Structure 1
Amino acid sequence: MAWDRIKELNLDDKLKNSLKSISDKDSDAVEGFIMDPDKLQMVKDLMHDGSDSRSIGDAVGLTVRQVDIIKELLGKL
């Protein structure tokens, strides 16, 4: 994942420990969304509309865990 960028922004110490040990599959999926402005905006819009993690995941092709990771990262930015 783009952990180097997260560390540059001094966000790594704010993340839950469980997020620091995610699988490569989850990491790759999350990185694909947080590094693509259009995909990230889609997730933000769904969150703003009140969608839960499962609904967001179904809409964008992510697992609930991956959506939760993105939500956690967005909460720290």
Structure 2
Amino acid sequence: MLKRSEHLQSEHLQSEHLQSEHLQSEHLQSEHLQSEHLQSEHLQSEHLQSEHLQSEHTKSYKFQNVHHQTQTRLTRLK
């Protein structure tokens, strides 16, 4: 009888161990997902920033170009 209760105890301990392992792996998965989510958000914001910079760059370039053309026209008129 004593052996049986010992056996049950050890089984109980094993199942507890398995549960804790399961919880750990779930925790790790969620951490992994969070970090992936953060990375993707970071990448998105970087992408948006670079797009914004590009558009700013093209705007200023266009403006300079137009400005240059107007200057040339004005000198021709004189």
TM-score with structure 2 setting the length: 0.19
Task: Tell me the TM-score normalized by structure 1.
Answer: 0.19
Structure scoring higher RCO (CA < 8 A, sep ≥ 6) equals 1
Whichever of the two has the greater Rg, that structure is: 2
